């Protein structure tokens, strides 16, 4: 990549606290754009417009993400005095409709946990670890990265809360239910001490458990529980946590805090998933709900 894009990525990390995965995505998109049209700090407007043709086969969401990365870079380049013009208007602006999240039903959640609890009943460490992992995914709504990188110090002592470091390095307090606390206690009694690790879920080399392995174990558990592995992932359990809380009457702002969403608009997608409950809520709680048309 050019020195300009390197500087832009450094700014995202230092000033905006961008997460590692976010920086990697920006780096990839900017590098691919530079491969196509050269140094972005000096690229001509016509060359920028030509990216639309190179992105023609991509999904609208991918085009929107790439265009967003370039728009932010061009704004940064102007601020730094590297460019006098802003060619962002030449970039395509597809309307990417955000897909509704996959959500497991209550029966599927029950089947998954019934299987996990039965396997953990024998006290085998890997089975107990898996039970603790899914309890935290569904019981506290953690992201996969947040879960596998939890430090041992995050385990609650006096209060039933985890301290979680989310996207952009933002910290939040996440409540831990009685079931998850019990599963954590069982895991801590079996957690290996060698090699030494500061993580709650250590790897064999002393680092932390990997996201890839977490995906694999959850899909394998689903298959053993009679659930199609294609419809489940750590993120699907997080979605189930959010949707089932909303069904139970949770406030959207509270849900935003629990999920660690910076923008309430991200949380609002769950209102589409739970639209039936919202309609029933309006019909039962609106001031005019008890009035008849003849009143």
261 is catalytic: yes
pLDDT score of 115: 97
Which range (47-51, 122-126, 132-136, 157-161) has the least confidence? 157-161
126 is catalytic: no
Cα atoms found within 13 Å of the Cα of residue 226, Cβ hemisphere only: 8
Nearest of 116, 118, 110, 105 to residue 218 by alpha carbon: 116
Asked if 1 and 30 touch (Cβ cutoff 8 Å), the reply is yes
pLDDT score of 274: 55
Residue 98 has pLDDT above 70, yes or no: no
Asked if 233 and 218 touch (Cβ cutoff 8 Å), the reply is yes
Residues 52-97 have pLDDT tens digits of 999 988 888 888 889 989 999 999 999 899 999 999 999 987 765 5
102 is catalytic: no
Residues 148-206 have pLDDT tens digits of 999 988 887 777 888 787 776 777 888 888 899 999 999 999 999 888 899 999 998 88
**Dihedrals φ, ψ of 224, to 5°?**
-70, -25
* Percent of the chain at pLDDT exceeding 70: 88
The catalytic residue among 65, 102, 167, 277 is: 167
270 is catalytic: yes
In this prediction, residue 131 has a pLDDT band, given cuts at 50, 70 and 90, of very high
Distance CA 116, CA 165 (A): 27
Residues 247-262 have pLDDT tens digits of 777 777 877 878 887 7
pTM score of the predicted model: 0.61
Residues 213-243 have pLDDT tens digits of 999 999 999 999 999 999 999 989 988 888 8
Domains and CATH numbers, the chain: 3-90 (1.10.150.130), 106-280 (1.10.443.10)
Distance CA 281, CA 90 (A): 45
Distance CA 92, CA 66 (A): 10
The two three-digit tokens of residue 248, written as one number: 């139970």
Distance CA 113, CA 131 (A): 8
Place of tokens 């898996």: 130
Q: Where are the beta strands (DSSP E) in 32-137?
A: none
The catalytic residue among 65, 172, 219, 235 is: 235
């Amino acid at each position: 990549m050019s020195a300009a894009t390197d500087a832009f990525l450094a700014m995202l990390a230092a000033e905006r606290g961008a997460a590692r995965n976010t920086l990697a995505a920006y780096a990839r998109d900017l590098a691919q754009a530079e491969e196509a049209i050269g140094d972005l700090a000096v690229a001509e407007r016509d060359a920028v417009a030509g990216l639309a043709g190179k992105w023609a086969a991509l999904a609208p969401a991918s085009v929107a993400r790439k265009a967003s990365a370039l728009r932010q870079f061009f704004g940064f380049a102007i601020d730094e005095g590297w460019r006098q013009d802003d060619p962002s208007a030449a970039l395509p602006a597809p309307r990417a409709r955000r897909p509704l999240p996959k959500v497991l039903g209550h029966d599927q959640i029950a089947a998954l946990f019934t299987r996990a609890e039965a396997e953990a009943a024998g006290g085998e460490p890997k089975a107990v670890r898996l039970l603790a992992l899914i309890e935290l995914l569904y019981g506290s709504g953690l992201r996969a990265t947040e879960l596998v990188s939890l430090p041992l110090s995050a385990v609650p002592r006096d209060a039933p809360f985890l301290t979680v470091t989310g996207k952009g390095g933002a910290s939040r307090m996440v409540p831990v239910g009685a079931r998850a606390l019990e599963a954590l206690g069982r895991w801590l009694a079996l957690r290996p001490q060698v090699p030494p690790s500061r993580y709650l879920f250590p790897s064999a080399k002393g680092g932390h458990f990997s996201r890839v392995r977490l995906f694999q174990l959850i899909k394998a558990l689903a298959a053993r529980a009679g659930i199609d592995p294609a419809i489940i992932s750590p993120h699907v359990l997080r979605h189930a946590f959010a949707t089932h809380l909303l069904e139970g009457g949770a406030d959207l702002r509270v849900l935003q805090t629990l999920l660690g969403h910076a923008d309430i608009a991200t949380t609002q997608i769950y209102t589409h998933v739970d639209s039936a409950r919202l309609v029933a809520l309006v019909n039962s709680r609106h001031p005019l709900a008890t009035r008849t048309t003849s009143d």
